[in-house]
């Protein structure tokens, strides 16, 4: 009898424990859902607060303007941008600095060093300049094409390893590049969080879904990574590719340069190819912008 009662007691305890566990799981699910909902509300509230602050700031700027103010415009290449203050340099070499915290933005996230932008502004009664609106007229790749140079993007290094470079650009967007053949120009080791200038081949802004045989670039390829303090150095200004000769045709003046990222088809005068053979490691210097994988060499150095 006692044994039977003991078994019944164990069964009752197990049932109570299962009931308690089920209740606890339900509570955890409800708590988790409540936590996620609260986090979503907090994020939404923060975004609304930011938008409201921007609108309030813009309203404050407009309130200081006279009723009959004339909006003026200044266009130029962005030479500096920290997320709030932007400096433009126009075609005459004149530079102007604007605080755009209260301005209307029409730049689609493309406002960054190297692009061509226009800022509408007005002069306040105290002589201060109030930026009213911001437009990007040419992005960094369009501007680079006009200047016949490789595009360059400024940003903060998030991850820098053998094959990949993740960069946070000045608009806060993460950019992913093939870093397998890049060279680094810096006076010290580049660390995560450092500001760098990255020259690349391909497009970060308008990537093609189906690369063709003449331009088989699926992912933008990093050509060089330049630390901010080395930007004006001679090495940073040099344009060259390093690789191994896969094939060479002395008679027709061309060779195939093999790199870890892609093979380049190099054209060069016959005298530049003298003394070169397959498997030689070389530097191929070029001017202007790379046009896909086709390169016109201006100098070749054997390594």
**What is the tens place of the pLDDT at every residue in 122-164?**
988 778 888 999 999 999 999 999 999 999 999 999 866 656 7
Find out whether 133 and 119 touch, Cβ atoms under 8 Å. Answer: yes
Q: Per CATH, the architecture of 239-302 is what? A: Beta Barrel (2.40)
**Does 5 score more than 90 pLDDT?**
no
* 292 pLDDT tier (thresholds 50, 70, 90): confident
Tokens coding 181: 């053949």
pLDDT of residue 152: 97
- Under CATH, which number does the domain 144-236 receive? 2.40.50.140
144-236 shares its CATH topology with 239-302: yes
Question: How, if at all, do strands 221-227 and 183-185 pair?
Answer: parallel
Domain layout of the chain by residue ranges = 72-138, 144-236, 239-302
**What is the tens place of the pLDDT at every residue in 211-259?**
455 555 778 999 999 999 999 999 999 999 999 999 999 999 999 999 9
How far is the C-alpha of 94 from the C-alpha of 178, rounded, in Å?
36
Residue 246 parent element (H or E): strand 240-249
How far is the C-alpha of 273 from the C-alpha of 247, rounded, in Å?
12
Asked if the 72-138 domain carries CATH number 2.60.120.260, the reply is no
pLDDT of residue 214: 53
Centre a 10 Å sphere on the Cβ of residue 298 and count the other Cβ atoms it contains. 15
């Amino acid at each position: 009898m006692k044994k039977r009662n003991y078994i019944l007691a164990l069964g009752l305890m197990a049932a109570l424990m299962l009931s308690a566990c089920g209740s606890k799981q339900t509570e955890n699910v409800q708590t988790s859902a409540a936590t996620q909902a609260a986090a979503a509300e907090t994020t939404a509230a923060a975004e609304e607060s930011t938008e409201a602050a921007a609108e309030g700031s813009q309203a404050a700027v407009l309130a200081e303007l006279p009723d009959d103010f004339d909006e003026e415009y200044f266009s130029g290449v962005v030479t500096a941008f920290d997320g709030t203050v932007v400096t433009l340099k126009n075609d005459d070499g004149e530079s102007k600095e604007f605080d755009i915290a209260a301005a209307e933005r029409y730049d689609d996230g493309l406002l960054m060093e190297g692009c061509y932008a226009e800022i509408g502004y007005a002069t306040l009664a105290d002589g201060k300049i109030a930026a009213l609106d911001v437009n990007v007229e040419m992005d960094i790749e369009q501007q680079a094409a006009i200047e016949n140079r490789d595009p360059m993007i400024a940003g903060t290094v998030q991850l820098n390893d053998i094959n990949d470079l993740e960069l946070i650009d000045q608009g806060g967007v993460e950019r992913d590049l093939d870093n397998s053949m890049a060279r680094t120009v810096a006076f010290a080791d580049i660390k995560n969080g450092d500001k760098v200038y990255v020259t690349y081949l391909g497009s970060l802004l308008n990537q093609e879904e189906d690369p063709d045989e003449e331009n088989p670039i699926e992912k933008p390829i990093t050509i060089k990574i330049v630390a901010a303090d080395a930007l004006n150095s001679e090495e940073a200004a040099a344009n060259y590719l390093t690789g191994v000769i896969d094939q060479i045709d002395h008679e027709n003046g061309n060779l195939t340069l093999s790199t870890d990222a892609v093979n380049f088809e190099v054209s060069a005068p016959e005298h530049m190819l003298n003394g070169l053979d397959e498997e030689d490691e070389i530097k191929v210097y070029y001017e202007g912008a790379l046009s896909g994988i086709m390169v016109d060499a201006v100098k070749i150095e054997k390594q």
